[in-house]
Amino acid sequence: MIIILSIVALAALAAVTWAGTVAIERAHPPSGRFVDVDGGRLHVVELGAMEAPPVVLLHGASGNLGDMWLALGERLAPRYRVVLVDRPGHGWSERPGGATDASPAAQADLIHDALAVLGIRRPIVLGHSWSGALAAAYALAFPDEMSGLVLLAPVTHPWPGGIGWINDVVALPVIGGLIARTLILPAGYFMLKPGVAGVFRPDTPPPDYGARTALAMLLRPREFIANAQDLSGLKEFVRVQALRYGEIKMPVTIISGDKDPVVYTDIHSRAIARQVSHATLTVLPGVGHMVQ
C-alpha cells in the first residue's frame, strides 16, 4: 500500500511539474534569437548598435541572461554592442553535450562558436559569479580574441565547504532526475523569494526582481539539473584553472563587494588579482554578491 501511495504521489508531483514548466515557459518566451553551435543552439539577445565595440555579458549560477539584462544591458547599449547569452542549459539555450557542458571550458567553446556566427570579434567578456570561472576560461582559451576581461564577484579558486546538499543530490544520475522532475518545482516556488534575498544580502533586490529576470525558469527540471551539474564540478575545475591565471595578459578589471556572503572576496577576487599583476581590483564597501 505504501509503495502504491508513493507512486501515486510521485506521479501527481510529476504532473504538477510538467504543468508548471509549461506555464513558466509561456510566461517567459524567448526574447532574442537562437544561434547554432556544435550540436545545438544558444539563445542570445543583442542590444545597441552593430558597429559599436562588443561586450558579452555572462550570468552566474541559478539564473539566465535576464539578470545581466536588467542590471547592465540597457545601460551599456548606448555605447556598446551588448550580447547577452543564456549559458548552455540555462534560459532558452540548449545543452548539446549534456553533463559534459557543465565545464566552464566547454561552455566557453560553445559561446565562442556562437560569437563567431554573430561576427563578433575581440569583445570585452564580462562574467559574474559562476561565470567568473567561465570568463577566465574564455580568456585562457582565446587570448588573442578578446579586448578585455571583467570579473564581477567571480568564482576563481577552490573554497572551503560545498555547494548545498540539494545540488549534490540533483547532480547524481537517476535519483537527481527523479527529484528534479517531481519535487523541485512545487517546493521551489516557496524558496525563490528568500533565495533572492539571501544572494543580495546585505543589499536590497530591485523591485520584482524574480519576475523581471524570469527566475522561475530555474525550476524547470532540465535547467535545475544543468545548474546542479555546473555547481558540482566547479571547485575541481577552478582548482586546476587557478594555476594558469598568470598567463592572462589582456586588460583585467575585477569588482567585488566586501560583504559578499556567497563568493568570498578574499578567497577569489583578491587571489586572482595577486596572480594577474596588471589587473585592477575594486572592492565596494558594504556591498554584497550582486555587484552588478
All domains of the chain in start order, with CATH: 2-284 (3.40.50.1820)
- For the chain (length 292 residues), average pLDDT per consecutive 10? 74 91 97 96 96 97 97 97 98 96 98 97 97 98 97 97 87 90 90 93 95 96 96 97 97 98 97 96 98 96
Distance CA 284, CA 231 (A): 26
Identify the pLDDT of residue 141: 98
Identify the pLDDT of residue 163: 84
Identify the pLDDT of residue 131: 98
pLDDT tens for each residue of 22-71: 999 999 999 999 999 999 999 999 999 999 999 999 999 999 999 999 99
The x, y and z cell numbers of residue 277, run together, are 599583476
Identify the pLDDT of residue 190: 87
In the chain, % helix, strand, coil (3-state, to 5) comes to 50, 15, 35
